[in-house]
């Protein structure tokens, strides 16, 4: 594997999950693999988990991670070709990606969508520009349309916690004060489509995800009905895809409550707004897997970096 930019880069999710479990059991077993190799982490957006877990993963492999907050600290990067750069951008991606490639053996990039220009967001112009102009492998740490490190993490967490051969997994929309990206929900959906699970998405009318992502996955507009017999309830807010990025929706009827989830395990990628997305009583209960999910971010990232290092 050269780059990891999508859940579609996973050839066999079950074998990846088994490999991740082995890394979790013995995190330093490949400490020599990344010796004298550098991982560059470039953040166009905020992060707690991705920033720390990906560095931890690199350290477990013996790599040296270096981190830059591109938006705050670097020169403004121009992504358009042929532009007269007499505005706010001072450096073109052609030079930026080539330069960083000289310092790093792998580059990881986080770049959220604008949620204004659907076509531009869906073109993944930031991530794809790095893939095009860097001379080293690229890892997505969440892009405009996907969060594949999170999706892999969530698949590992479900596999570790299921007591059934084919559990029922529900992805539920939940309210939020801001219009949020679709990336986490998209990658979770793609990961579940690769697993042997009974997978259902529930969201209000007008909030269906991109049909090219959901494909044949059932979509139910009645949350209570979708939650019936659920083993795992994965919750996330996302903005409208049809009325692109426009609608924030704070409808409290979609908030996750202890009564609604019953015995199901609760999952969320974090950060989560308490008592907006989900009640305290759910997050503070034994049913919540959110801290375990965050822990698994390290092993998902470690597996991805390992596979790339084995290939360079
Ligand atoms: N889940 C996740 O990606 O967390 P951060 O945004 O804090 O990295």
Q: List the chain pLDDT tens, one digit each, 312 residues.
A: 999 999 999 999 999 999 999 999 999 999 999 999 999 999 999 999 999 999 999 999 999 999 999 998 999 999 999 999 999 999 999 999 999 999 999 999 999 999 999 999 999 999 999 999 999 999 999 999 999 999 999 999 999 999 999 999 999 999 999 999 999 999 999 999 999 999 999 999 999 999 999 999 999 999 999 999 999 999 999 999 999 987 678 889 999 999 999 999 999 999 999 999 999 999 999 999 999 999 999 999 999 999 999 998
Closest-lying ligand 1 atom to the alpha carbon of residue 297: 1
DSSP annotation of 253: G
Q: Which residues of 165-199 are buried (b: 16+ CB within 10 A; e: fewer)?
A: eebbbbbbbbbbeebbbbbbbbbbbbbbbbbebeb
Burial class (CB in 10 A: 0-12, 13-18, 19+), 120: middle
| C-alpha 53 to ligand 1 mean position (Å) | 9
pLDDT computed for residue 283 by the predictor: 98
78-115 pLDDT per residue, tens: 999 999 999 999 999 999 999 999 999 999 999 999 99
Helix (H) or strand (E) holding 43: strand 38-43
From the list 203, 51, 182, the residue with the least C-alpha distance to 114 is 182
- Distance from the first to the final alpha carbon of the chain: 9
Pocket of ligand 1 contains residue 48 by CB under 6 Å:
yes
The CA distances from residue 256 to 111, 226, 230, 293, 294, in Å, are: 28, 13, 13, 18, 20
Within 10 A of 21 (CB to CB), how many other CB atoms are there?
15
Pocket of ligand 1 contains residue 270 by CB under 6 Å:
yes
- List, in order of start, the domains of the chain with CATH numbers: 7-146+297-309 (3.40.50.1370), 150-293 (3.40.50.1370)
| C-alpha 79 to ligand 1 mean position (Å) | 25
Between CA 266 and CA 288 the distance in angstroms is 5
Pocket of ligand 1 contains residue 269 by CB under 6 Å:
yes
**Contacting residues for 273 by C-beta, under 8 A, at least 6 apart:** 176, 177
Helix (H) or strand (E) holding 202: strand 198-202
| Mutate-to-test residue for ligand 1 from 142, 154, 180, highest number of ligand atoms within 8 A of CB | 142
**Contacting residues for 130 by C-beta, under 8 A, at least 6 apart:** 93, 97, 107, 109, 138
From the list 222, 235, 138, the residue with the least C-alpha distance to 184 is 235
**Nearest residue by C-alpha to atom 1 in ligand 1:** 269
pLDDT computed for residue 248 by the predictor: 74
| C-alpha 297 to ligand 1 mean position (Å) | 9
| C-alpha 279 to ligand 1 mean position (Å) | 20
Is 296 in contact with 153 (CB distance < 8 Å)?
Answer: yes
């Amino acid at each position: 594997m050269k780059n990891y930019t999508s859940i579609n880069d996973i050839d066999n999710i079950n074998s990846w999950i088994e490999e991740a479990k082995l890394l979790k059991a013995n995190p330093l077993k490949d400490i020599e693999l990344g010796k004298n190799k550098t991982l560059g982490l470039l953040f166009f957006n905020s992060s707690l988990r991705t920033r720390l877990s990906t560095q931890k993963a690199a350290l477990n492999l013996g790599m040296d991670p270096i981190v830059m907050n591109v938006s705050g600290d670097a020169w403004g990067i121009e992504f358009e070709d042929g532009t007269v750069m007499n505005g706010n951008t001072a450096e073109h991606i052609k030079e930026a990606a080539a330069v960083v490639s000289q310092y790093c053996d792998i580059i990881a990039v986080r770049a959220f969508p604008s949620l204004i220009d659907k076509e531009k967001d869906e073109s993944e112009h930031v991530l794809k520009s790095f893939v095009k102009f860097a001379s080293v492998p690229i890892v997505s740490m969440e892009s405009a349309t996907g969060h594949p490190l999170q999706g892999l993490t969530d698949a590992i967490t479900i596999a570790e916690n299921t007591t059934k051969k084919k559990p029922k997994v529900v992805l539920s929309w939940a309210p939020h004060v801001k219009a949020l990206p679709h990336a986490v929900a998209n990658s979770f959906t793609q990961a579940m489509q690769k697993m042997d699970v009974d997978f259902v998405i529930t969201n209000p009318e007008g909030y269906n995800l991109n049909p090219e992502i959901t494909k044949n996955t059932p979509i139910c507009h009645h949350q209570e009905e979708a939650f019936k017999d659920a083993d795992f309830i994965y919750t996330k807010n996302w903005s409208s895809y049809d009325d692109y990025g426009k609608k924030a929706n704070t409808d409290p009827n979609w908030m996750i409550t202890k009564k609604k989830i019953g015995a199901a395990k609760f999952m969320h990628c974090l950060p989560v707004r308490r008592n907006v997305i989900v009640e305290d009583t759910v997050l503070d209960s034994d049913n919540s897997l959110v801290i375990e999910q965050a822990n698994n971010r390290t092993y998902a990232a470690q597996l991805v970096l390992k596979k790339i290092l084995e290939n360079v």
